[in-house]
Every structure is written in structure tokens, then in C-alpha cells.
Structure 1
């Protein structure tokens, strides 16, 4: 009963904090039919500033981080991303009526990371004065890339198997569009040469990953401390509150779109963030036992696992899997998964408080 009471009190407390309050306010604005909107260029600017701040903060801390302390959570983050995709391939992608490629694309986005959700988690911990490793932002690309690559490769393999089966039945030749299989590759479901390299390049070139990596590099190899403290830190909270308003309105609008999507996606969008967050919590707890990974770090690894990519993932999926239904994976991720992930942050904080101590 103590753990239930702790979780309940933490939930009530966190709903009153600015980060979650602005998210809910955005949903209310959309529900009331408000004409409030943020121009797309402003939204992109906000995201870039947030990611540069997260990246630089991580890079500054990585310079003084113990290699073992960093590498263990990094490996764990990558494994979490891959595990989430495999779990989705055995659940959502096999649900009756769900196209397997659509299901894998959705699982890929849920295995990848939402930078805004990670930023929200950091802000909540900062508000409560809970310490965490400064290199947490550096774990983002490990989980993100691992999940996206795994999902896309599995989707290509699935498409190749179906093409081979159709060719065997029809006695003809089938070539997949989108690079899954070509005339020079047949019979074994082989992936088009260079696919993995292309996915990695596209991922690193995406605005979100690029901003994060640039910030990380600046933090490690330069000395951006003055501009970091004078510009990025003071701007961070205000910009994050605006981003939460935008996400709240977008979430409400995409929830209405989900009526056109199979009920499987709705169920997955509601349950997956919590299940994935618990997987991340488990891996973080192992890292805590092995290296002394902080309780705050365990919470943020859970938040990353619970989140679903709303910036870097969709364009990557559209480019690599043009045959996948974007309304399914984007609607499920942004419309349901992201709000559930943000609202579940207090759950992971309460678990960390009970099992580790915040």
C-alpha cells in the first residue's frame, strides 16, 4: 500500500508542475477549438535550441565522465531500443488486421527517443532538485539509432519474405520499391547493399540528431560554457513550456485522427510507453547496481524508453519505408504515445524513490 500511496501522491504533485501543466493546457486549448498556434519555423527553432542545450550539457559532462560509467548505460540504452522493436514485432506487428510493415514502423518510433519528452523529464527532476548524470543526453542516439535501424531492417526483411513467397506462388519476378530488394539480390531475403549505411547517414542528418550531436561535440571539444550559461540555460524552461503547449494541442488533434486507425494502435499507444519505461527502468537499475548509475539517471533512462520519436523518427521512416502508413505510426506515436510517456514520468520517479531513493 505504501508504494501505491507514494505513486498517487507523486502523480498529483507532478500534474501541478509547469511541464505537465502546459501539456494539459495545450490539450484543453485544442479541445475548446482555440485558434492559438505557433508558426512552424518557431517550433523548429525551439526544438533545435532545446536539443543544442541538451547536447552541450551532455558534452560538457562527458569530458569529465568515467568511461565505464558512460559505456554501461550507453550499451543498455541501445539494447533497450532493440528490445522494444522486437517486442513490437511480436505484439502489434502480429495483431490481426495490422500490416506488419506498419506495425514495425510504429514499434521503431516507440523504440526511438522523443527529445522533448527527455527534456520534460530533465526539467521535472531539476524542479525537484534530483541529481542525474550530465551525460544522459549522450544516451539519446544509442537508443534512437538502434531502434530505427532494427525496425527498418526487420520491415525490409518482412517485405522481402513476402515478395519471395509471392514469386514462388506466381512463378514471376517481383521487385520491391523503396530499396528492400533488387534484381541482384534474391532468394534469401537479403537487404539491399548499403541500406544500413544509408539509414545511419539519414538518421545523423535529421535535424534532431544533428542538433544533438553538434551540441554534444561542442560540449566535448570546445568550451561553450559562457554561451551555454548565458543563453541556453535561461531560455530552456520558457521554450520548453511553449513546446509543451504545442505538443498538447497536436496530441488532441491526433487523438481525433486515431478514430480512423485500428483499435490495436490505440491499445498499443496507451500501454507501450509504460511497458517500455519499465524495461528501461530494469536496465537502468542493473546499471545502478554495476556502476552506481544514479536514481535520477535510472528515471531518465526509463523516460527515454517510454518515449516515442516525434521529430527524427517520422522522416526517417518515410524515407526508408515509403510503403508504411504514416497515419498509423505518426498518429500512434505523437497522438497517444508521447502524452502517455510524459504523464507516466511520476510513475518512474516513484518507483526509483521506493527501490533506490531519490
Structure 2
């Protein structure tokens, strides 16, 4: 427990977490601090490209093996299965309707790429290596949860359906296209390609991430203000309990597959994170009756800051204990 608290303390005083806290506090205090939308979009494009490219380079050096294939399969299975567990918990812990519970559950089967980046940064800060192909696993876990949510609604007699073009919209979502595309560019060009653009995607990365998390803090703070009174204690409890359950399942799977300590941590982070970009966009099309104030606030306003401050240090401590790393 002492080690976990120590890791949490180190994480809390890191520039990226303090940047998020600044944005959160500024929004709650009703400051007029804002990040222009075009700038925020530019930063997200930069981060996704850098993450994907470096992951592709790592795979180029590592090569394709059974562990990579098994990890991809595990990620897809988690993304399909976790929403079903989340839905069951929501129906027990909250009074949410079937539609709202299904929409929320989709977020908790998909992933937050920013949480993944934060987890990667923590590992790098502690000089812990992780499999580069975890970026590909992140991309594979974006969409399956949405299909599970639609199945849950249909099974419960709701109106959810696969709207025309939804699957195409999911698979061609800008974040997925950029992440997968830059991954393949990195895999093709390898270390030589990384050397050519390292000044662009390596050195500035942490600074851009700080500004991006400042914007995330502003968005989360505004969401918390606007959703006041909408969510009960059961829903908030779910948003903290679900990541812990998901991470516990992932640590078992990652250890069985044979991932390194860093790889197990990142699989836990992916399983424990919740989407607030791709899934909300899909829910607006597939389940327009669902309340955005519910699923966005739980994902971005509760689970996201929990993972950044306490979750990632906890997952790292558990993975080190289990793997002996």
C-alpha cells in the first residue's frame, strides 16, 4: 500500500497531471480560460500520429509473433465482453434506463487513448519497457464495445440498431485511421524513419501532452458543472469500481499471455479506461435517445481523472507484484 501511495504521489505532481488539474479547477471556478478548438484538434492529431508511429517502429524491431496475435485477440475479447459486465453492474447499482445503461457500458469497453498515453509516460518515467504493439491493441479495442452496446439494447427490447453507415463511420473514425495509419508508417520505415523525424515526435511530446490535458481538464470541469444533480452516488461509484474490475481481469489475461510488466500495465490501462471521443460520436448516431450528460460525465468527469491520479499507479503496483517486474 505504501508503494502504491508513493506512486500515486509521484503521478499527482507530474506536469501532465497538474496540467489536467489546472484545467479542471479553472472550469469549476468558471474561468474564461479556453483552448481554441482548432488548436485542441491539432494537438490530438499530433499525439495520435506520434503514438502510432513509435508503436509501429517498436513492432518493426520486435517482429510479429504469437504473443502479439494473442494480445490483439485478448484486447478484442475484452472490448466485446466488458460492456456486458458494465451493463449488469449499472442495472444493479443505478436507476438508469436500458438505453442509458447500454450507452454508458459501450464507453467502458472501448478505450481512452489519452489515458493510454499517460500510462506510457509513467512507464517511461520509471524506465519500464513495454511492447510497442500495444498501440495496435488500443486501435483494435475502439469499436467492438459499440457493437456490444447495440446488442444489449436489442436484447432488452430497446430501439438500438445498426444505423446505415454506422460501421463504416466507426472503422473510419479519424482517430482510428490516424492511429493505425501512422502505426503502419512507423512499421514500414522502422528506426531509420524515427531518426528522421525524432525531433518532431519525441522531444515535444510531453509538452504537447500537458497542453492537451489542460484542455481535457477544462472539458471535464464544464461537464461536471453542467451535470450537477443528474447522476446519483450509484453511478459515480460505478465509474470508479468498473475500472478496477476491468484492470483486475486484464492483469490475469496479460500475465497468462506472457506480456512484460510494462505490457501488462498497458493492457490494464486500456481495459480500465473509458472512451470519450469515438464512442460518444457513435452513440449520437446509434442511440440518440441516450443522455450525453450521463455517459460523458461518468467517462470524462469521473473515470478519466480517477485513472490519471490513482488508477495508473495502482495498476503499475499490481502488475509489478504479479509479474515480479
Residue number in structure 2 paired with 1:319? 285
- Alignment partner of 1:208 is 2:206: no
Matches within 5 A, 1:115-154: 115-154=113-152
The Cα offsets for residues 42-62 of structure 1, whole Å up to 9 and x where unpaired, read as 111111111111111122222
- Alignment partner of 1:268 is 2:268: no
Residue number in structure 2 paired with 1:259? 228
Matches within 5 A, 1:223-238: 224-238=193-207
Q: Secondary structure at the match of 1:308?
A: coil
Residue number in structure 1 paired with 2:110? 112
Q: Which moved more, 1:342-351 or 1:90-99?
A: 90-99
Post-superposition offset of 1:11:
1.4
**1:258–1:266 contact (8 Å) kept in structure 2:** no
Residue number in structure 2 paired with 1:92? 90
Q: Secondary structure at the match of 1:234?
A: coil
Residue number in structure 2 paired with 1:71? 69
Q: TM-score, normalised by structure 2?
A: 0.91
Q: TM-score, normalised by structure 1?
A: 0.83
Alignment partners' CA distance in 1, 2:252 and 2:163: 29
Alignment partners' CA distance in 1, 2:88 and 2:128: 36
**1:94–1:100 contact (8 Å) kept in structure 2:** no
Residue number in structure 2 paired with 1:23? 20
Alignment partners' CA distance in 2, 1:338 and 1:131: 24
The Cα offsets for residues 9-52 of structure 1, whole Å up to 9 and x where unpaired, read as 22112212222222222222223332211011111111111111
**1:274–1:341 contact (8 Å) kept in structure 2:** no
Post-superposition offset of 1:133:
0.8
Residue number in structure 1 paired with 2:270? 304
**1:149–1:196 contact (8 Å) kept in structure 2:** no
Alignment partners' CA distance in 2, 1:316 and 1:201: 11
**Count of paired positions:** 320
Post-superposition offset of 1:253:
2.1
Gaps of 5+ in 1: 163-175, 181-194
Gaps of 5+ in 2: none
Alignment partners' CA distance in 2, 1:76 and 1:196: 27
Distance 1:221 1:155, change over 3 A: farther
Distance 1:96 1:340, change over 3 A: closer
Alignment partners' CA distance in 2, 1:26 and 1:40: 15
**2:166–2:285 contact (8 Å) kept in structure 1:** no
Post-superposition offset of 1:98:
1.1
- Alignment partner of 1:8 is 2:12: no
Alignment partners' CA distance in 1, 2:30 and 2:227: 18
Q: Which moved more, 1:119-128 or 1:141-150?
A: 141-150
The Cα offsets for residues 44-92 of structure 1, whole Å up to 9 and x where unpaired, read as 1111111111111122222342321211111111122222101012121
Post-superposition offset of 1:350:
1.0
Alignment partners' CA distance in 1, 2:304 and 2:143: 18
Alignment partners' CA distance in 1, 2:142 and 2:295: 16
Instruction: Provide the alpha-carbon RMSD of the alignment.
Output: 2.0
